[in-house]
Structure 1
Amino acid sequence: MELLQLRNATVKLTYGGTTFLIDPMLSQRGALEPFPSLRGDERNPLHDLPLPITEILDGVDVVLVTHSHVDHWDPEAARTIPKHTPILVQDRFDADIVAAQGFTDVRILENTTAFGQVTLTRVEGQHYDAPELVPLIVDVTGTAATMGVVLRAEGEPTVYFTGDTVWFTGVEEALRAFSPEVVVANAGGNRIPLGRLVLDDAEVALISRAAPAAAIVAVHMEAVNHWGTSKAQLRQTAAASGFTDRLFVPADGESLTFPHP
């Protein structure tokens, strides 16, 4: 398993003989509107991509979109990804969005499915820390739904991408059911004025306790204007909670390799 961190939750993953592009946000720095935020109104994304888009897309077999919010599937991704590329999405709402953009092979990930030698299992996410956030998220983005995904393949570590979620019973149950060797956690603590949308450092510590042998790769950090947990803060929490040796916080453009245990 080789994971290339690109920016935010955008990851290029080589796994089980398949190359996945996950949650592509490919816009140039500052091309997108800011999110409602307590931090400021910087335009998104906050940083440039570390590689040219042509290099990012080279060799990609399939794109996995955990949900259609603009920091996971943006206009530049829709414009530049070849229209015949298989796109895996969470539900009909997202499938209709992607299909309307001209993509001809859009597949809804329902429960467990196979792509090549890789088995993908959908895991529910909860993209809010308070129920009153749901109407606002739906009003602004069209949906509050999100998913995580567990990938398995012979000769590879089991890997769980949390997607955009806070800690809730679904995350705990996924960790128990699948015993992942690698957890890729959207750990930026992103929030809007009414509440938090994504795991923060304290919740990553909960993951470390629920999966005491797993490597934790923290992504979705310091990349869009409403981030709430810094990389430094996460590292401090890891040191205090005793999982520094299992925490990886890759820089944009950094590649990580995890062998089968």
Structure 2
Amino acid sequence: MKKLIAAKLKNEQLVQEMNAALTETVGFRLWWLGQSGYVLQWNGKRIVMDPYLSDSLTKKYAHTEKPHVRMSELVLRPELLENVAVVTSSHNHTDHLDAETLVPILKNNPNIKFIVPEANRAFVQQRVQCDLDFPVGLNDGVSVTVDGFTFTGVPAKHNELERDANGQCRYLGYIVRFGNHTVYHSGDTLWFSGMEDLLRPYGIDVALLPINGDRPERRVAGNLNAKEAVALGKAIGADLVVPCHYDMFTFNTANVSDFVAEAKAQGQGHRVLLGGECLHMP
């Protein structure tokens, strides 16, 4: 069995680092949880975006023609995540809406807000067995503020800009504004017409973008590739692009060195994180 990619920090050590930073009042911190999952801390508040902290997909597809073989260590047992003000899901795919991850987080944080696309409310309720009115539903152009964080929904194309019968997006990205900072979590998305014009006015400091690409032979919905992620970062004026959605499953990954080479060639600010590694924006 191939050795898993080691986390920078994990479990109790990672939580200790996060907790120690809760007293900071300047700047913000961002930890990569693997795939498209992040913990964001600012001004003593903690939010968690699109966490996948289980082996549910590996178990589900173990004896199929599409095995989800894990590449990286599990960074954090979800029951260790406390003091969480908000958790998000950008869409219904299990690596962004995982019951084995979300149920412990929701249980351990009784005052938490759960932000999802409004179009997915009924599916989310069934997946995590919560009350139907518990999730906070967003659509593109709709915002909500929780504990100083303002979340605004923006469309995501995975592989289509899909909407429900009421015209609400099934796939979203989130603009997160707090203090003088702005982080863009794209969710899973391809580049669509007008995307850069939509995002540029937000003045994005850090863009969290997938790089695993869109390859039909994988038989799963695709994403930006490394070159496109860098180009999008440039087009929207992001100070920093942080790549994600790679090194989780062997059948659906990318070589992050391609992203680094492209970012250097294009002069785009960037930072590559290991699982459990912190980006500190002072």
TM-score w.r.t. length of structure 1: 0.81
AA aligned to 1:220 is H
How much identity, in percent, do the aligned residues show?
26
Aligned to 1:183: 207
**CA apart distance, 1:16:** 5.0
Is residue 12 from structure 1 mapped to residue 12 from structure 2 by the alignment? no
Aligned to 1:127: 158
Aligned to 2:78: 53
Q: Secondary structure at the match of 2:181?
A: coil
**CA apart distance, 1:190:** 5.0
Aligned ranges 1:1-261 → 2 under 5 Å: 1-28=28-55, 30-33=58-61, 41-55=66-80, 57-83=81-107, 84=110, 85-92=112-119, 94-100=120-126, 101-104=128-131, 105-110=134-139, 111-128=142-159, 145-154=170-179, 156-189=180-213, 191-193=215-217, 197-212=222-237, 214-243=239-268, 246-259=269-282
**CA apart distance, 1:122:** 0.6
Aligned to 1:141: none
Q: Following the alignment from structure 2 to structure 1, what is the Cα–Cα distance between the partners of residues 77 and 262?
A: 34
AA aligned to 2:247 is E
**CA apart distance, 1:117:** 1.1
**CA apart distance, 1:68:** 1.4
AA aligned to 2:92 is S
Larger relative contact order (C-alpha < 8 A, sep ≥ 6)? 1
Q: Secondary structure at the match of 1:184?
A: strand
Q: Following the alignment from structure 1 to structure 2, what is the Cα–Cα distance between the partners of residues 32 and 252?
A: 23
Structure 1 portions without partners, runs of 5+: 139-143
Q: Following the alignment from structure 2 to structure 1, what is the Cα–Cα distance between the partners of residues 215 and 105?
A: 29
Does the 8 Å contact 2:191/2:224 carry over to 1?
yes
AA aligned to 2:272 is V
Q: Decide whether aligned partners of structure 1 residues 204 and 86 sit closer, same or farther in structure 2, where only a CA change above 3 A counts.
A: same
Q: Following the alignment from structure 2 to structure 1, what is the Cα–Cα distance between the partners of residues 86 and 97?
A: 14
AA aligned to 1:112 is S
Aligned to 2:11: none
Q: Following the alignment from structure 1 to structure 2, what is the Cα–Cα distance between the partners of residues 228 and 43?
A: 11
Moved more, 71-80 or 145-154: 71-80
Does the 8 Å contact 1:18/1:118 carry over to 2?
no
Q: Following the alignment from structure 2 to structure 1, what is the Cα–Cα distance between the partners of residues 61 and 41?
A: 31
Q: What are the superposed Cα offsets for residues 154-173 of structure 1, whole Å, 9 maximum, x if unpaired?
A: 2x421111111111135312
Q: Decide whether aligned partners of structure 1 residues 174 and 99 sit closer, same or farther in structure 2, where only a CA change above 3 A counts.
A: same
**CA apart distance, 1:225:** 3.8
**CA apart distance, 1:191:** 3.6
Does the 8 Å contact 1:124/1:170 carry over to 2?
no
TM-score w.r.t. length of structure 2: 0.75
AA aligned to 2:130 is F
Q: Following the alignment from structure 2 to structure 1, what is the Cα–Cα distance between the partners of residues 237 and 197?
A: 15
Does the 8 Å contact 2:72/2:247 carry over to 1?
no
Q: Decide whether aligned partners of structure 1 residues 96 and 257 sit closer, same or farther in structure 2, where only a CA change above 3 A counts.
A: same
RMSD: 2.8
Q: Following the alignment from structure 1 to structure 2, what is the Cα–Cα distance between the partners of residues 180 and 11?
A: 17
Q: Secondary structure at the match of 2:106?
A: coil
Runs of 4+ with >6 A deviation: none
Q: Following the alignment from structure 2 to structure 1, what is the Cα–Cα distance between the partners of residues 279 and 192?
A: 28
AA aligned to 1:234 is F
Q: Following the alignment from structure 2 to structure 1, what is the Cα–Cα distance between the partners of residues 55 and 227?
A: 31
Does the 8 Å contact 1:157/1:258 carry over to 2?
no
Q: Secondary structure at the match of 1:158?
A: strand
**CA apart distance, 1:64:** 0.6
